[in-house]
Structure 1
Amino acid sequence: MTITTVRGVRDILPEESPTWQLLEESARQIFAAYGYREIRTPLFEKTELFARAVGATSDIVEKEMYTFNDRGGDSLSLRPEGTASVVRSFIENNLQRALPWAVYYMGPMFRYERPQKGRFRQFHQMGCELFGAEGPLADAEMMAMIVRLLRRLQIDDALTLEINSLGCASCRGPYRERLFAFLQERQAQLCGNCIQRLQRNPLRILDCKGEGCRGVARQAPAMQESLCPPCADHFCGLQELLNGMELPYMVNPLLVRGLDYYTRTAFEVTTTALGAQNAVAAGGRYDGLVAEMGGQAVPAIGFAMGMERLALLLEGKGLRNGSRSGCYLLAVGAEAGRQALFLAEQWRSAGVAVQMDWLGGSLKAQLRRADRALAAQVLILGEQELAEQSVLFKDLRDGGQRLIHWGQVVESLRALS
């Protein structure tokens, strides 16, 4: 019996890696251009961190976390999202003195969810967190950065930026009471999960995907009607900035996000190209989270992007396999294979990349493998070339070929790079 992967996880095969490398490299360039630096946090943390940050009553903490006791009896959890760990690091390393503090991260997250297209139990996110900026300028710039990245990847044509305001502690309390009274009268139309949410956190009902609950939510009082003057000004200022940058968006009053720590701005970037799993980026403000986690009161905003879903969008654009690149060295015959090893090492020492064919065999078979490897050029070393100290250079992109002396290979390959 063979051993297979755990349900909900998958391998990223070498044929897919160019897509992921494109995502990562593009994101690093864009994030750096906006002043963000990389942070790398542990894959697991104390369970208490996520319970306090994400919310003890959230679906993530109650149903989806991978939690275990280590040999010392401590409760640990694989990270289900990135913000909590970044906030913990910000507080633990006393970075309140280094404001503004802007970081980005990339890596795997873990949630016990029902696997489906674009959703896995081990999934990958990249995201940014900005500490210290309070006004809507930071919100607008972060959204512009996301759109810039998506445009760089050429996957922005089927995307929509949705925004909402969740208010602050002073205006969310009265709104919660209005919403509770409205929903209590309509309990019969709610699903079982939302009936339980009604007592604990009625705002989560607005995010339910059930058709009956969605119908009730569309009739519910909107948060914008209950915003206090500072929150209303913040949301109005954000829209003015987005309009000024000519950044298309829509206001979605049902956008509440699935985490307890969000305040004021919440946003998502959705697509029509992936079916039900339509969010490719999401985030918002969490101005009170640092203080709740034991640090000083510091305003903050962040977002995360699902890398599997971005990869699917790139695949839909025909970019999955990447483009041809690199050089493939073929040798026909035992002596040619021996000499090819020596030559490849010399050329690599001179700074050019050369991949050898490890399996040997006929020239036709080796050419097939070079084609599968998406090589841009091949160098063929046979008996005649061995005698003449040359290689047959063949360009797999345009079919051109010529003989090149061993001493001219490095210069020829550099000229193509």
Structure 2
Amino acid sequence: MRPLLARFLGLSFARAFGALANTGALILVARSVGANDFGALAVILSVLAAVAGVLGLGMPAFALRAAVLGRQQAVGYAIALNLYTSAAIVAIGIAYGSLTAEPLLVVGCLALTFALEKNSDIRVGLGTEFGRAKLVNAVLVFRGVVPLAFVGGALITDRASVDAYVSGRLIGAAVAALVLALSIREWRVIWRRPRDGSLESLSGLAFSNAAGAVRQIDVWIVGLLSGSAAAGDFAAAQRLVAPLSLFANNMSVVAMGASARESMTRARRAVRFTGWSAVAALAPAVALAALSPQIVSLVLGDSFTEATAALAWFIIAVPPLATLPVIATILQGRGLANAVAVNSVVMTGLFVVCVVVGAATDGATGAALGFTVATWVRLITMLAISRKLTET
């Protein structure tokens, strides 16, 4: 238990620090360019995050579970497949920039950034589980701090903050990917598909991951239906709550390895505890949501006053956002990846409908309300799936 707690706390600190730095960089960009221009950047990030998520195929979770179970060929093949899909992300990003009015250089650099970060993430889980946690933590901190340093420097010297953010994030991702690739080399790349049945769980993880990634297009939907300014308000409010759900992303990396070893009884207890934690956190979330006007005014400035109501709804969505990845990881680690995938696909459909209806009726505020409703419904359905743990 102590090694597990130590890995979780170390990864939590590293990811929290890196993510807070990246969020800080985006907030500085938002304050310097306003809602409309920030919305244009947020739309690009939304599209590329969705593409990278779909092509991620759930590889970090799959590779980690395969490594814990001693399936070395599966880990090597996952790393190889990750390289193929990373190249596809760059190609799609360039095509998107060429076919739209978005600046091609910015889109291309961000597409390469997402590809590099995806390659790093597959080694983050492996390194955390197998004795390289300190290195992983240092790399995650570095990757998050570089964009903040670039944006801060640009604002001091009166240069373009968007270009500085894109450059800083690309350089941080490139250095992080190189360091992890050179340092975590216990698993060699295997280009041929293993025939030992170790890939059976990959389809469920891939579908679940793809369904979750599609939800990243929420900013793009808001921009399409309500304009760049509404997209900027929506994205800025969403960024403010992102650090509050870091617990889930950190714990899910550690939980995949642990859940593959634990009994069904312990796994079900863990899911129940996580679900009740979300319910218990609802009251504090509502109380914090009441402070949204003060938070927006202090952090984002007067140009983002329309983000106030959206931020309130996002804060109320934090409890399920902070627990769903952990619950999904535990269920996947105990052989319910296909059930989680089906749930993800169905709930993604509900999510898109809620965001579309909300954005069409009330812009950023309506989209945030739809986001929150869909997120709480998904938590309830995932807890229902956890009852199958006694039947497998």
TM-score w.r.t. the length of structure 2 is: 0.27
By relative contact order (CA 8 Å, sep 6+), the higher-ranking structure is 2
TM-score (norm 1): 0.26
Larger radius of gyration: 1
